[in-house]
Structure 1
Amino acid sequence: MNNRTKKKVIIGGLTAALLLSGGTLVSMAAHQKKSGQADATPVALKFDEKKVLKEDEKYSIKDFDFDIDPETFQITLRSKDHAFTFAGNEGATVANVKKSKDAISWDYPDKGIQVKVTKKDDHLEVEMTPQSDEVEEIDFPKIQGDTYYLPIGEGKSIPADNASWQSYFQENDTLDLNESFSMSFLSAVQDNTAATVVMEDNFNKELAEDTTTPTIDFQLKTSLNRFNRKDSQKYDIYLSDNDPVAVAKLYQKNRIENDQFTSLADKAKTTPEVSKLIGAPHIYFWQSRILTADEVKWQKLQKEDHQKLYQHVGDLLEQYSEDGRDEFDNAITALNNGEAYKYEKNTILTGLNTVLAYPDFYNAEVFPTLDKKDQEYLKKTKEDMPTEKRFAINKQLLKVELKDSTVALDQWGQSTSSDVIKDMKDSGINNSWIGLANWNEGLINPQFVQTAKKDGYLIGPYDSYQSIHETPSIDWNTAGFKNNTNVYNNKTIMKPSGEYVSGFLGKGRKVNQTLIGDEWQYRLKQTTSKEVPFNTWFLDTDAAGEIYNDFNPEHPTSMDEDVQARLKRADGLAKKGLVIGTETGNDYFNQGMVFAHGLETPVIAWSDPDMRENKESPYYVGGYAALGDGIPERYSKQVPVKDEYKATTIDPVYSLPLYKLVYNESVITTHHWEWDSYKIQDEVQNRRLKEYLYNVPPLVHLDAATWNERKQDLITNSKNWEAFQTSAINQEMTDFNYLTEDKLVQETNYGKDLSVIANFSDQAQTVNGETLQPHTALITNHGKQTVIENQ
């Protein structure tokens, strides 16, 4: 869900992150010498594909027989001690039935579908091929079980008779698998046997739940269109013990064998700085202004005559800003009358910072001292996106006009940005991923970006290529493209009806990714430089399932072509040395991403008015606007989760590490930015336990104030986290177990010598002779034990 772009990206505005300044970089060598802190030794990533495949083989039941009724398509697989039956449909006419020892084929003449079923070494392969252009849908398989293991997010164990999950599927009776499933399989359990259906992909597929039955059961539906009607749909069915580990490992084997698995070790060969992500907390850093309240000498500002400047700023706000100029003008009046208090100062600073991003900030009457060279530069680049050079000029113009009413220009914003990074490094946080909500936030403060990189951190902006606006907005710059009119009119996605697919929040249109192949190069050229050395890049939505068939007759495009264009862009960025992240982490994008945000904790209850609209509700998650220079409530306010959503989102009883059992050595996944590690009231410790249990890095929102507030907790946890992930990342997650009947004590294993036991219960538990206190975790690494205590 592309709600990242719901944040305004106004420089100096209410919800922009990290407005930072340029200036001379303080010597990091001196800063590290002073602290005695050296860069962390890079982790040497490795992956033994042959070993993994050999281990995965043991999970499949190979010695099985199968029975099929072609008329109903009921299938039964059985071995000596295991059996599983796929329910059939209503009887249909069949023709051309052909049987051999390990295969059977037939036609459905009325449906226009040909079927072939073949027993392979370790699975049953079902191949269904449309024979007519009239075929619109393939319904297979129909699957019923006592329990389901589904890749919803990280993974869920779903009892067929569970009331919470029945309610979930009543509200979501049809799931679009592109967006709902992180991997391309579904698995069900009957007695002691699991059957896992692996699909080539989730494209054009929906999972429908029969809400008329007393328990949960499913029908997979594949819709056919001009792009896939001539293709065979293949389903590989594996039989195993009732064990989610077996389910995940058989899927992993399938992905590796089909060249759909790329390890972190291989990704690091293209982008060596991948190693800086190991042991790193993921931090969205917020500083909405380059010029902050503490850097303004308000009495001097009141005495100086800046009316031309204030008039100019008001005019720009009226022209470009949704909020307009009224608040700013009123605040200036209050300042002139000696009545500027916290609210008025906040409004003035918001206005001054905001307009630094505007292309016509320079005005000869307001700023008469600008030299001709810089004047020519600003004229030449007026219609282009802001660059570091433009921001440097605009900041200098503002400083000259404000005179000694502010501190020196090279001090603007640094105490709440660069100084925080230095303190993090000095405190022992060796690696960190620093995310900015917009590239302008780095361009306006090169010193901050340089400091983060010098300290060995990854730092980079959010970017999106999904939506385009007919008239580009300065406040939403990722929705503006090079040659914007041409892209909007000729390169956007159309539905079969001829309507265009709307952009995020219903604004604008969605862009055909195959037609903007050079856009990333254009943006990169405008936003990265020696002065602004970004080394990571976040691609919104690319792995979130928002992929499309484009039925525009001028450029018909399939979902597969859409994905390949996204992967090509990610590869280009990676070859430029940027560590690539994206939203959610659905595995069709496995080759394109190193990390993903949103798989472990998704966006919760997007449409619940108590959480999204009713500001008086205790569940209201907060707005996107920050009234001051801090983190918006949407990301900082702690709120509880309604009981009705707990089972389907955060309850450990229903959670499974399916994704990590497959991709622990391939993709680093964590929470959605809307639900950081501290966001859920009374669940901070439980989520921390799960972070260690599943090898999920903490994700937090920070500004200077929040760093000071949570500093000790972040430092202590980061030291434990770095040691843990450095060991866990180069090993397979080999096992997962419930250690108590209530499933509240769980264990994961990484390789042979690393394990995590988490006690989510309210009682002390004795495990293997060790007493584990409530809501604590025990890490055992080569015999050394570390307790993650309840804070």
Structure 2
Amino acid sequence: MIRTPLPLAAIIGLMASTATATATAEPIRLRAGAIAYAVDPATLEIEARPDGAAAVPLMPPLHAPEAVTVAPDGDGWRWTDAEGRAFALAVEGEALRLRISGPKGSRLAWSMPAATGGTWLIPDGEGMAYRADDAFWRAAYRKEGCLGGTNLLSFPAWSHLDGTWAATYALGDGLLSQLCLHDENGLQARLRHDFGDGAQTLDLLLALRPPEPLAPALFYRQVLKTRGQFKSFADKATPDLPRLFAAPHAYVWGDGRDLGFLDDLKTLGVDRMVLSYDQDPRTQKHLVGPAYLAKARALGYLAGPYEAFDNAQPAATADMPSAVWSDDLYPAGCVQDAAGKVVVGFANRGCELSSEAIVRRRGPFVPAQRYAGHTADGASQVFVDVDAFGDFVEDFSPDHPMSFARDRANRLARLGLAIDRFKLVLGSENVTAWSSGVAHYSHGTAQAHASAIWPIHADQKRFGGYWPPERQGIYFAPFQPTPDEARALFGAADRLPLFEAVFHDSVVALDRWEFGLMKVPSETRRRFARSLLYGTPTIWNLDRRELARVGPWLKAAQDDFRQAHGAGAPVPLTAFRWLTPDRLVQEARYADGRVLIANFGETTWRNLAPDCVRVTRPKRVPVDLCPPADPP
């Protein structure tokens, strides 16, 4: 390794050795606060040494030692390795910043340091705490599973927590990156990145932080705010946005789309609600029109349709209005794979419609036309399926070629249009970090371990199917999970409010619509408590019969949430900790001084009953909130 000595080193705290031709020279050392970081450019081994403490490994060697030439780069260093990858190293705030640029089409695979114990803190959906030696999670990842940096990771940052430190990692952009987990004498993790259009450079931040469960979230929020990339609700304000806060959400079915349902809600005492509906083109019964939307608005509710821009089907057989497009978009606008074959749409319906084909279409922009139609009908909110999830596609059609990065840009633009031009309250599916600036609420992000959902969802005999259309089993039929399924999706000791610690004052996060609060009766009480602890509203599937059955729960969900969190714009969630060794009693703190404690155990803890939440406000007597009696 050849290094050029610099007078600048003394200024920026770099303690590199003088030039040498060997690959075993002293590493580059950079200081950020009380942490000294050491990077060996010959191998890419990285460690952190806190003042007065032993070194902590952050990354093992990426490759065998190589002879490289290190040169100054502003306040840092740069070099190139034998595979043609360019590296730039510097300090950003309290972190070490390493940018890696690789040849297009190449891949980087870099393992985290071997974990023999401790806990991985990973924003898998809302957030998960995976003990590295936990037999359950080791078995779940016996075969490697990867979480995309723009989709299954709700934000691209994670930590390994031990009793002393939280080794923390964050990506400036998760596009074409994955965090992969696998069992190898314990749960291990590795970072993968594909260098491609829009992702030519991997921007990796590494930091050694105090050992707190929210370490990756608090660090990532700090990065976003420092870089000017965080958008709060105030930055995305629309006239009806205040109606979103503290409101339960519901998809209405059958006669839930009739005016009488709105009267039922009002009689029940529900004065704030987000109502979504999916019009059924196969029947003229219970279709939502301007009268319903006008009455919902007058009663204080947000109401609007399900919308989707990613699927196209033949008009004669389409199963939803949003899948019907003009002749110049279907089938001409279908995504094509590298072999020129049309990519089939979700659930083998029609095709995947190219966002680039929509942009290039001559004439009015169809998403804008649809938003305009919804506002003309009186909608105050709209839910756009798929777009915010971050599962981008490439299109190899010669008429509308598109990269992953271009697909992302197109989706950002059409989501933002609803807010900026049409002043709608906007929701989408599984909002993650990249789409947080163009959405107000998310159906799905509050779910945990989302990859476990799809095998369950596919088993229609157990979970319920799509018939009858006015009261579909997938939404109304009760589901009894196995013990392993229950732990994977709902286990309290494995879950963390990581997404809330970053985005609580930016995005209202809820569970997926297939998992309304009443879908899994054995978990309803714990989910009720978690909603209060995390400040994530409940989601429901309702018609008039179901509302009559579960009305006391819906009213309690509204009233208790308001007692715990108020009815104004959410404030940041600032801290979280486990209060018992089994991690079943948990505490969350908020920026306005509120302290919430939830008991997910089976026995009373300090007079707090199971499935109850204690709310303590400054200078007020604590109040315990508990679920109502089980519905019939």
User: How far did residue 195 of structure 1 move?
Assistant: 1.9
Q: Which amino acid letter does the alignment assign opposite residue 335 of structure 2?
A: I
Higher mean alpha-carbon deviation, 555-564 vs 255-264, is at: 555-564
Report what 1:215 is aligned to: 186
Alignment of 1:423-572 (within 5 A): 423-438=264-279, 445-470=289-314, 473-481=317-325, 483-484=326-327, 486-517=328-359, 518-529=365-376, 532-572=377-417
Report what 1:637 is aligned to: 477
Q: Which amino acid letter does the alignment assign opposite residue 778 of structure 1?
A: R
Structure 2 Cα separation of the partners of residues 567 and 604 of structure 1:
24
1:136 matches 2:106:
yes
Report what 2:25 is aligned to: none
User: How far did residue 524 of structure 1 move?
Assistant: 3.5
Q: Is the 8 A contact 1:427 1:715 kept in 2?
A: yes
Structure 2 Cα separation of the partners of residues 541 and 284 of structure 1:
16
Alignment of 1:100-249 (within 5 A): 103-109=76-82, 111-130=83-102, 132-133=103-104, 136-140=106-110, 142-145=112-115, 146-211=118-183, 213-225=184-196, 227-228=197-198, 231-249=200-218
Structure 2 Cα separation of the partners of residues 772 and 113 of structure 1:
56
Report what 2:585 is aligned to: 745
Structure of higher CA gyration radius:
1
Report what 2:554 is aligned to: 714
Structure 2 Cα separation of the partners of residues 737 and 61 of structure 1:
26
User: How far did residue 472 of structure 1 move?
Assistant: 5.5
What CA deviation, in whole Å up to 9, does each residue of 1:415-473 have, x standing for no partner?
Answer: x7312212322432111001102387886543322211111111111011112225563
Secondary structure in structure 1 of the residue aligned to 2:581: coil
C-alpha change, 1:503 and 1:193, in structure 2 (3 Å) is: same
Structure 1 Cα separation of the partners of residues 491 and 568 of structure 2:
24
Q: Which amino acid letter does the alignment assign opposite residue 600 of structure 1?
A: A
1:277 matches 2:244:
yes
Match of 2:464 among 587, 599, 622: 622
User: How far did residue 193 of structure 1 move?
Assistant: 1.4
Structure 1 Cα separation of the partners of residues 247 and 126 of structure 2:
20
Relative to the length of structure 1, the TM-score reads 0.69
Q: Is the 8 A contact 1:115 1:129 kept in 2?
A: yes
Q: Is the 8 A contact 2:212 2:577 kept in 1?
A: no
Higher mean alpha-carbon deviation, 175-184 vs 591-600, is at: 175-184
Structure 1 Cα separation of the partners of residues 396 and 49 of structure 2:
44
Secondary structure in structure 1 of the residue aligned to 2:193: strand
Secondary structure in structure 1 of the residue aligned to 2:296: helix
C-alpha change, 1:257 and 1:557, in structure 2 (3 Å) is: farther
What CA deviation, in whole Å up to 9, does each residue of 1:137-181 have, x standing for no partner?
Answer: 122453433321111000111111112211222245333333321
1:694 matches 2:543:
no
C-alpha change, 1:184 and 1:439, in structure 2 (3 Å) is: farther
What is the identity percentage for the equivalent residue pairs of Structure 1 and Structure 2?
A: 23
Secondary structure in structure 2 of the residue aligned to 1:180: coil
Q: Quick check: which one's strand share is greater?
A: 2
User: How far did residue 223 of structure 1 move?
Assistant: 1.1
In structure 2, list runs of 5 or more residues that go unmatched. 1-30, 360-364
RCO comparison, higher one (Cα < 8 Å, 6+): 1
Q: Is the 8 A contact 1:581 1:594 kept in 2?
A: yes
Relative to the length of structure 2, the TM-score reads 0.86
1:785 matches 2:626:
no
Report what 1:21 is aligned to: none
Report what 1:667 is aligned to: 507
Match of 1:584 among 427, 430, 433: 430
Secondary structure in structure 2 of the residue aligned to 1:772: coil
User: How far did residue 536 of structure 1 move?
Assistant: 0.6
Report what 2:608 is aligned to: 772
User: How far did residue 665 of structure 1 move?
Assistant: 0.4
Q: Is the 8 A contact 1:439 1:461 kept in 2?
A: no
Report what 2:7 is aligned to: none
Structure 1 Cα separation of the partners of residues 537 and 32 of structure 2:
35
C-alpha change, 1:116 and 1:445, in structure 2 (3 Å) is: closer
Alignment of 1:52-67 (within 5 A): 62-67=33-38
Report what 1:573 is aligned to: 418
C-alpha change, 1:524 and 1:118, in structure 2 (3 Å) is: closer
Alignment of 1:261-272 (within 5 A): 261-268=230-237, 271-272=238-239
Q: Is the 8 A contact 1:780 1:786 kept in 2?
A: yes
Q: Which amino acid letter does the alignment assign opposite residue 573 of structure 1?
A: A
Q: Is the 8 A contact 1:143 1:188 kept in 2?
A: no
Structure 2 Cα separation of the partners of residues 527 and 103 of structure 1:
52
Structure 2 Cα separation of the partners of residues 265 and 93 of structure 1:
50
Structure 2 Cα separation of the partners of residues 723 and 752 of structure 1:
14
User: How far did residue 597 of structure 1 move?
Assistant: 0.5
C-alpha change, 1:449 and 1:548, in structure 2 (3 Å) is: same
Report what 1:726 is aligned to: 566
Q: Which amino acid letter does the alignment assign opposite residue 430 of structure 2?
A: T
Q: Which amino acid letter does the alignment assign opposite residue 266 of structure 2?
A: K
Report what 1:96 is aligned to: 69
User: How far did residue 709 of structure 1 move?
Assistant: 1.3
In structure 1, list runs of 5 or more residues that go unmatched. 1-59, 289-412
Q: Is the 8 A contact 2:280 2:319 kept in 1?
A: no
Secondary structure in structure 2 of the residue aligned to 1:183: coil
Q: Is the 8 A contact 1:279 1:724 kept in 2?
A: no
